[in-house]
Chain A
Amino acid sequence: MSSGPPIRRRPTGPVRPGQQPQVNVIGRSIRRFDGKGKVTGETPFGGDLAGPEAYTALVIRSPHPHCEIEDVELAAARAIPGVVAIFTGDDIGGTNRHGLIRRDQEVFSRRARFMGDCLGLIVAATPKIAQRALEAVKVSYKELPIVATMDDALAEGSYPLHETGNVLSTELIRRGDADSALAESDVVVNTETRTQCVDHAFLDREAGMAYMEDGVVTIYASGQWIHEERRLVALALGLPQERVRIIQPATGGAFGGREDISIQIYLGLAALKLDHPVRIEYTREESMIARHKRHPIRIEYTLGATREGVLTAAKVRILSDEGAYASTGPAVLRKAVSHCTGPYRVPNIHADGVAVFTNNNPTGAMRGFGACQLAIAYESAIVELSRVLKIDVVELKRINLLDDGEGVTTDQKIPVVGVRDCMEAALRRIGWDKRSYETPAPHLRRGYGVSTICFGVGYGDGFPDASRARVRMADDGVVEVFTGGVDFGQGLHSLAAQIAAKELGVDPLAVRVVASDTHRTPESGSSSATRQTVFTGNAVRLAASEVAGQLLDVAAAYTGLHWDDLELRGNAIAAKHDIAGHEDRTVVLPLRQAVRLGRERGYALDVESCFKPRTVAKQKGTGKSPRAFITYMFASHVAEVLVDIETGEVKVARIVAAHDVGKAINPQQVEGQIEGGVVQGLGMALMEEVVSEGGFMKNASFTDYIIPTIVDTPTIEALVIERDDPEGPYGARGVGEPGLIGTPPAILGAIADAIGTQVHETPANAERVWKAIKRSERAGDGASA
């Protein structure tokens, strides 16, 4: 048996400036070029841009989760000295609408469907005056019935939130004959999982500024896909796209939470109408009330198996709370349904998903969307099956995990399935076979959980998903990379520089990256769906290698040598090997000189490339697809927890997270993505929950919405597995989301191992764990009585 693929072990250690390599830059932890500005505090984020001359804009929001707006009385507010203007729906020139999949949300609402709906926009000379004006606005409204829960939404005669009713979308998978297979199975288990509403809680609140420049509305704001945001702003305001420019400043996290439009249209409207710089900065409370969230999903899971533990069939019912507007909901539901059996071999599948509107926060994109809720559900069913069959959960996984070339839920065959490699690596690291259940005190119980998950990369399902990038040699010999892709901390721009540096043989830190400006950079699609390493990474590689080819042609013509004897390295074109007259692989042409010569000979040395791999839309009636996603990520996490059985409190002692990333282009950044995802997953597993009562969000602050601190977090042990992806750049397949997805099921599995019963509702906070312990004690008493 082979020893498996190589594992890169922590720590990669600090990277010192003198260690920046000139060659073999792929697979090296190059320092990110935005590090210095961020540690000194010099780097401006959205809230740092506007000078004192800018006006302050403030949003008037709905007083009620569901109401018809009868009147917004503005006279008193307008009379306050320093109030410059108050805009409403009467002032907007375009469609007054936005929305990523359906344009179903009004910029200025006449009927509010949740607390974040906007009724008007105040612009004033100072923030204090704007606040005073907001307090002087009187809104009269007619309350409408509140649809607070998914059950309310589906109830007979429920109040329709949209013209199309309260069902946004449905999805299904039909493979084989699940009903017959379940009837014939030796064992069938049923679980019901309820996942909660989660907030992205990125630290950099929505903030930005806008002004007019040569008739162009110029907006500095943080999104995830600036070119799509430009389209939405232009539509809403009724402007041609070329009159809207969006520039993304440094961005403090996104995690899907910046996919929907936030402040862009407000800023654009105010700058356009006033021809004066305007700024907006949400408070934390406003940020949490206005922004979409993660879908709470209820999953009924029926899983069948033979006595030996071979899975036979899965029947899955999924109900998803969309909140007030569609956002990315249909894509989230499809992701949930298309990932409903995870990385397991399940020959018969019958899955149905329904997404329904309520008066809660709209739910949309958040890291691991759809897939992470379903991972909790299928792993819970696997743990239950393990208990019933009395087969160790790891053995059960070994029997049923997919192998290379087998099909996932949609029956898409995956050439490289790294999930077994991940699991075995994680088990070795934690010392699975010698794990100890000893605890320091009698009221503590120790437990271990293992998750195995998969995740389809990119938009998929036939969506025309593409990234463009441009690479140019500047006259001074510097390599320039242009990408519209946004970097909110994950390191895309450093990655783009690293790839261009590899192809052109220069120091990555000497590459000039021009990014995230709709007027200067080509469209690189959305920074979401774990897609940018593969998509923009490939686009940069294509463009850079074409420029490299041109430079080799220039040098070949100049030296009379064959281009194939030459290579780019160390800021020069040099001989690949000893050639007569070029012994010791000498430099034949410095890069700057090659650029000058190339320009003289008519080479542009300026190439834009596009990476647009095709996926295949789902088959009607079955939901299957031979290529739903361009590639799949696999991962396995092992969690070790200590549970206090007197209080229900859970302490995570260790997490090992093994991910097959194909190739880690920058291992330190890859580990950083895994570690960060793990801690967000820990928050989802144990503590984070948006609490809404009757459409009113109850915990819109960092005091009441708790995210993990450094004290809640163990050292994360990230293991990077590298089994090359056939289509990724240098074999890479992305890393962004699975770190989150793998964590909740591992922690929940560990809790079940510790207390002998499962918690089926997230977060598994102290109260829910304590109740599960008591329930199980009562059941145990009943059984023995």
Chain B
Amino acid sequence: MTNASGVEEQTLTLPSEQEVEKLRAAEATWSLSFTLNGESVELMVDPTETLYDTLRERLRLIGTKGACLEGECGSCTVLLDGKPVTACLVTSPQVQGRTVVTVEGLAKDDRLHPVQESFIACGAVQCGYCTPGLIVSAAALLAHNSTPSVEEVREALEGNLCRCTGYTKIIDAVLEAAGDEPAVMSVGGEK
């Protein structure tokens, strides 16, 4: 078949769903089990894929964002055994048997974590792309330091880039949350 300009057109035969499923299954050869947001999960993954991809592509937890995927932006920050890590630099087999908390695990029974609440109240959210990573980092800070100074907030959030807010209202929000109900600061997963 040729098109109007006389060029041979490629024959577009779409692969069947079964074929696509087979191709996908061929990539996922590793059986992974870990604790995610308080629940045990077990699934097949590609052993070379990152925790970022497993969370987003296989478990459809879209709150973990990725602006750079090379550990510079902090948008994909999650808690691994209670400590903040960038999910793009962790391969999924590394979390075998361990505990992961994502931004989706911070709100309890529809009650927002105090940091989530204060980010909205203080105007620390603009585009929102960096927000989940910042909230996870801030929650981790407040879990072990309920009265941080401004400099301690800066130090804890240094790995999280934000391009919209100018950071001023983010610092306001973390300090505001620190003044709030320290009893509910547990983020889970600490060892």
Contact = CB atoms under 8 A, between A and B. Distances in A.
B73 interface: yes
Interface residue range, chain B: 35 or more
Interface of A: 11-16, 29, 31-32, 34-45, 47-48, 52-53, 78, 81-82, 84-86, 90-91, 125-126, 128-129, 200-205, 250-253, 255, 273-274, 276, 283-284, 488-491, 668-669, 671-672, 674-680, 701-703, 707, 709-711, 713, 715-716, 718
A456 B51 CA distance: 47
A250 B125 CA distance: 13
A118 to B, nearest CB: 18
Contacts of A710: 153-154, 157-158, 160, 162, 167, 170-171
Contacts of B171: 710, 715
A674 B164 CA distance: 10
29 contacts: A14-B121, A14-B172, A16-B121, A34-B125, A38-B131, A39-B117, A41-B104, A48-B56, A84-B15, A85-B10, A90-B5, A200-B163, A203-B163, A204-B129, A252-B65, A252-B129, A253-B129, A255-B163, A490-B126, A668-B169, A671-B168, A674-B166, A676-B163, A676-B165, A677-B166, A703-B68, A710-B157, A710-B160, A716-B166
Contacts of A13: 122
Given A90-B5, A252-B127, A702-B67, A203 B161 contact: yes
A338 to B, nearest CB: 28
Interface stretch (B20-28, B91-99, B182-190): B20-28
Nearest to A207: B66
Contacts of B166: 672, 674-679, 713, 716
A715 B171 CA distance: 9
A205 B24 CA distance: 25
B130 interface: yes
Contacts of B120: 31-32, 35-36, 39
Contact of B127 (A15, A44, A253, A668): A253
A713 B62 CA distance: 29
Interface string B70-99: 101101000000000000000000000000
A702 B70 contact: yes
Contacts of A52: 24, 57
Contacts of B38: none
B123 A41 contact: no
Given A284-B70, A489-B126, A711-B154, A35 B163 contact: no
A35 B119 contact: yes
B132 A41 contact: yes
B50 interface: no
Nearest to A43: B128
Nearest to B118: A14
A701 B88 CA distance: 15
B130 to A, nearest CB: 5
B38 to A, nearest CB: 16
Given A39-B116, A90-B3, A82 B20 contact: yes
B123 A29 contact: yes
Contacts of A12: 123
B4 to A, nearest CB: 9
B1 interface: no
